[in-house]
Structure 1
Amino acid sequence: MLINIHKSALEEVLHFRNQFLHENNFQFICNKCHDYGWADTYLFWANDMQIGYGAVWGTDRREDRDTIFEFFISPPFRKHTHLIFPKFATITKAIYIESQSNDVLLTSMLYEYATNIRAEAILFADHYQTNFDIPGTVFRPRQYDDNSDDSSDFFLEAEGRIVASGGLMLNYNFPYADIYMDVKAPFRQKGYGSVIVQEIKKVAYAAGRVPAARCNISNQISKATLLKAGLKICGFRLKGDLKALQ
């Protein structure tokens, strides 16, 4: 079997990207790399048949293309993965792999072909509904006359003061929406973070979106807040240094 790999336009691999997203069924946090032109895509061929695709982007500088972050092979051809991945890595001259641990195929490549593997972020999926209620708090959308340097879409007020803010980032694969939030320094560790996450989750569902979130691997406060607000850990963002391939 002759394996060929060609750099291709995004439109040429979209049918495989749709399969990739459908099969994995999770928020793919690098989805926006394609929308913003930060990635190059490659089409995989076995003889004269298209069998999958891969993508690279710049892990530290957007103009670089040094990191494999997507790798998909149609299931009937996955027995040939050991032939395809090393050739893909060699052609792209990538030096890193970035993978979500819930992406089983690329994560298996990470553990086989990379060293110095480390977790950089925790990934969260929604798990259950909470019903926190702190007396005196009001959750509301941003208003045109708000005199605030905070550009968030939603605020949580307590006794007329903004204690927390947040919103949804929609530049991820549909239907997922990424929750972001911040509790103002004087009001932390009082439960406001979990309340605003709880309410933002409701906004997401009302808009036909599925809420998700992530935080830095070392951010224990955000991790605790998201778990308390009914999310669960669904994976980790992993990175490794590609071994020299022959």
Structure 2
Amino acid sequence: MEIRIVKVPLDEIRSFRTVFLQERNFQFICNKCHDYGWADTYLFIVDGEGAGYGAVWGTDRREDRDTIFEYFLTRPFRHLADTIFPQFHALTAATYIECQSNDPLLASMLYAYAEHIHAEAVLFEDDAVTALPVSGVTFRKRSTDDDMGDDDSDYVLVKDGRIAASGGLMLNYNLPYADIYMNVREPFRRMGLGSLIVQELKREAYLMGRVPAARCNIGNHASKATLLKAGFRTCGFRLKGSIKAAP
């Protein structure tokens, strides 16, 4: 059996990425790395046939290529995962693996080949429709008259004539997902406004034909509680580990 791993342009592995995203069926938070040119891609060839691909990027600096963050084999070749991965690692000389826990193939490589594994973020998917009541609050798109400072959010909550919270939808992830972000201004915190604006942003996502998703840092318990209250549920974690030295 001949295995070759060749660095190729994104277009040469795009069909494999399509299958990867269809099979995983979740928001892939590193999807934009390809669109922005932050990653290098490699084609896996087994006995002359395309078998899958891998991708690396920089974990701290975008110009580095020290982290494996995508690793995919089509079903006929998936039994070769533990054969191809060490060769892929040797070629790229990557020192880290980053993956989502809901990506079973790369997660299995993480636990087999890495150490010092830790979770950096919690991932959320929509689970329930909520109807959170907060009286005297208006949700709307921002206007040119709003005092936003350096906040470029597209939506706001207004209470007592003042902007109490802001947020928006990031659309640079894989279709059909939209990543929700929000911020509640200090005088208005602990009033339930965070969950309220998330609830309304979820509705906006669906109106534009997108599926809302979200994430927060692993230690941000307030944001996690806000997202859960707004009808999200935990669907995975963003994991990272250092690749072990070869024995």
How big is the shift at 1:54? 0.2
CA distance in 1, matches of 2:110, 2:224: 25
Q: Which runs of 5+ in 2 are unaligned?
A: none
| Cα deviation digits, residues 93-151 of structure 1 (max 9, x gap) | 00000000000000000000000000000000000000012110000001122232121
Scaled by the length of structure 2, what TM-score is found?
0.98
Aligned-pair Cα RMSD in Å: 0.7
Alignment of 1:130-145 (within 5 A): 130-145=130-145
CA distance in 1, matches of 2:28, 2:40: 17
How big is the shift at 1:245? 2.8
What's the % identity of the aligned pairs?
Answer: 63
CA distance in 1, matches of 2:148, 2:231: 29
CA distance in 1, matches of 2:96, 2:4: 22
How big is the shift at 1:9? 0.3
2:209 pairs with 1:226: no
CA distance in 1, matches of 2:30, 2:237: 13
CA distance in 2, matches of 1:206, 1:144: 23
CA distance in 2, matches of 1:151, 1:40: 31
Q: Given that residues 137 and 158 in structure 1 are in contact (C-alpha distance below 8 angstroms), is that contact kept between their aligned partners in structure 2? A: yes
SS in 2 for 1:134: coil
Q: Given that residues 154 and 165 in structure 1 are in contact (C-alpha distance below 8 angstroms), is that contact kept between their aligned partners in structure 2? A: yes
2:91 pairs with 1:81: no
2:160 pairs with 1:152: no
Q: Given that residues 86 and 245 in structure 1 are in contact (C-alpha distance below 8 angstroms), is that contact kept between their aligned partners in structure 2? A: no
How big is the shift at 1:42? 0.1
CA distance in 1, matches of 2:81, 2:227: 36
Aligned to 2:127: 127
State the one-letter code of the partner of 2:186.
A
Structure 1 window deviating more from structure 2 (91-100 vs 139-148): it is 139-148
SS in 1 for 2:37: coil
How big is the shift at 1:82? 1.2
State the one-letter code of the partner of 1:70.
E
State the one-letter code of the partner of 2:183.
D
CA distance in 2, matches of 1:151, 1:5: 43
CA distance in 1, matches of 2:212, 2:246: 39
Q: Which runs of 5+ in 1 are unaligned?
A: none
State the one-letter code of the partner of 2:46.
A
Q: Given that residues 164 and 192 in structure 1 are in contact (C-alpha distance below 8 angstroms), is that contact kept between their aligned partners in structure 2? A: yes
How big is the shift at 1:21? 0.1
How big is the shift at 1:47? 1.3
Aligned to 1:31: 31
How big is the shift at 1:81? 1.0
Alignment of 1:203-242 (within 5 A): 203-242=204-243
Alignment of 1:148-187 (within 5 A): 148-149=148-149, 150-187=151-188
SS in 1 for 2:110: helix
CA distance in 1, matches of 2:157, 2:6: 50
CA distance in 2, matches of 1:189, 1:225: 10
CA distance in 1, matches of 2:70, 2:207: 31
| Cα deviation digits, residues 34-58 of structure 1 (max 9, x gap) | 0110000000000110000000000
CA distance in 1, matches of 2:246, 2:155: 49
Alignment of 1:12-27 (within 5 A): 12-27=12-27
How many residues align? The count is: 246
CA distance in 2, matches of 1:244, 1:2: 25
Scaled by the length of structure 1, what TM-score is found?
0.99
State the one-letter code of the partner of 1:219.
N
State the one-letter code of the partner of 1:105.
L
